[in-house]
Amino acid sequence: MYDFFLGITMPEAKIKKCLIEFASINREAKILDFGCGTGTLTIMIKEFLPEANVSGIDVDIQILNKAIAKAEQEGLDIFLIDYDGSNFPFPHNRFDNIVSCLVFHHLDTDKKRQILGECFHVLKQGGKLTIADFGRSRSWVQRLQFNIIRGLDGFKSTDANAKGLLPKLIADSGFENVTIKKRFKTMFGEVQIIIAEKI
């Protein structure tokens, strides 16, 4: 249902393709898809870079089981794991890239900070974080439209997104060169692609 809903309401494939482009992932990189859901982005990355080591984590085991089934069906070797929603089950300096699509607006501001800290911890020096999520648009119409998602997903968890604070939270977690690379107008407000580096 989620895949279907996203597909008809958003330029989902475009956003995910663009996220992968801006992540500029090397052929044999170790990649983590944070909040991988049903694994759409995780699978796209593995298909695009078959030699890469691709992992996905999510808090929802039922959603994750769908991702596991999809990956098995495609015969793809992807590591998919559920966790407690707070502490990443990975060692320090594990990944070259972390990607995340439409997850951060589900996290309250304190949780955003905590998860960004986890991302910083498990990324290697020189590693890159690439996030696609809702941000503050310059268009008042798009800001108004974002209230639909805010009503559905919660005003508290979307607060920092609505105020355009996600890039600052990323920078406050130690990341550098935090940049909004692209803005997509959607039915539910503006989705931005943000990149950041661990220097």
Ligand X SMILES: C[S@@+](CC[C@H](N)C(=O)[O-])C[C@H]1O[C@@H](n2cnc3c(N)ncnc32)[C@H](O)[C@@H]1O
Q: How many residues bind ligand X (CB under 6 A)?
A: 16
37 near ligand X, rule: CB under 6 A? yes
Q: Quote the tokens at residue 49.
A: 């870079």
Closest CA to 119 of 94, 148, 136: 94
Q: Residue 60 and residue 100: Cα distance in Å, rounded?
A: 15
Bridge partners of residue 82, in order along the sequence: 58
Which residue, 49 or 63, has its beta carbon nearer to ligand X? 63
59 near ligand X, rule: CB under 6 A? yes
| Least spacing, CB of residue 42 vs ligand X, in Å | 8
8-state DSSP, 59: S
35 near ligand X, rule: CB under 6 A? yes
101 near ligand X, rule: CB under 6 A? yes
Q: Quote the tokens at residue 34.
A: 């944070």
| Count of C-beta atoms within a 10 Å radius of residue 8 | 9
Q: Which of 11, 85, 154, 164 binds ligand X (CB under 6 A)?
A: 85
| Residues making contact with ligand X (CB under 6 A) | 35-37, 40-41, 57-60, 63, 85, 101-103, 106-107
